[in-house]
Chain A
Amino acid sequence: LAKTTQPISMDSYEGQEVNITCSHNNIATNDYITWYQQFPSQGPRFIIQGYKTKVTNEVASLFIPADRKSSTLSLPRVSLSDTAVYYCLVGDDGPGFQKLVFGTGTRLLVSP
């Protein structure tokens, strides 16, 4: 499974756009990129998954360059409730992504 590297922490203010970049230099051809969000004392929650280019849902966007060696999770106009840990995962399970390998994640703090 490809190793991922993300910033340990990030700070932002309400209403700003937040971009969290994840490096995965050894990503394999079959690997998907998935992001999870976790609040304290809760289980992680799926945010978005992609393979290449751009994926957007009602919560976030995921940008993946052509070489797929990195990806960026974009959270538009964050609020205080977006304060959480964000995990970037890379794996080849694809749909039915079931054995999840988490790193230490990025701790996002949103201030008023």
Chain B
Amino acid sequence: DAGVTQSPTHLIKTRGQQVTLRCSPKSGHDTVSWYQQALGQGPQFIFQYYEEEERQRGNFPDRFSGHQFPNYSSELNVNALLLGDSALYLCASSLEENTEAFFGQGTRLTVV
């Protein structure tokens, strides 16, 4: 059973560009959450998708948007990239009735 998979693993973008990150949840999981983790910090919640809709959102600007597909996979889009967007982006999947969230390995985004 594959766990949470994210692609790509590493990415370098130029300031002002747009980026799309992808996540496939653990088999059977219907909820996907995205987190941003800056170097030396804990992960910060961006938003969560359930039944193809954004259910919760953290304190992130509208430049951060997402989507969930019928197969529960998800994308995170970031527009007008800033240097400060450089971070490890983590995807986590879960089931409402389960205790734990399963994280992927993350996508390391570097904005230059």
Q: Please give me the residue from chain A that is nearest to B57 by CB atom.
A: A99
Task: Establish whether residues B88 and A97, one from each chain, have CB atoms under 8 Å apart when the complex forms.
Answer: no
State whether B48 touches A46 (Cβ < 8 A): no
Per-position contact with B for A34-67: 1 when CB-CB < 8 Å, else 0? 1000000111111001000000000000000000
Number of residues from B at the complex interface, CB < 8 A: 31
Total A-B pairs, Cβ < 8 A: 70
Contact with B103, one of A34, A45, A97, A103 (Cβ below 8 angstroms): A45
Fill in one digit per residue for B30-64: 1 if any A CB lies within 8 Å of its CB, else 0.
01010100001111110010000000101000000
Stretch at the interface among B12-20, B66-74, B76-84, B91-99: B91-99
Q: Known contacts A41-B106, A42-B105; decide if A102 and B42 are in contact (CB<8 Å).
A: yes
Q: Give CA–CA (A98, B50) in the complex, Å.
A: 11
- Chain B residues positioned under 8 Å from A28 (CB to CB): none
Q: How far is the CA of A44 from the CA of B4 in the complex (A)?
A: 12
- Contact at B105–A41, with CB atoms within 8 Å? yes
Query: Do the beta carbons of A43 and B97 come within 8 Å of each other?
Result: no
Q: A interface vs B, CB < 8 Å? A: 34, 41-46, 49, 87, 95-105
Give 9 closest A-B pairs by Cβ, nearest first.
Answer: A43-B103, A102-B42, A46-B100, A96-B96, A43-B90, A102-B43, A95-B99, A44-B103, A49-B99
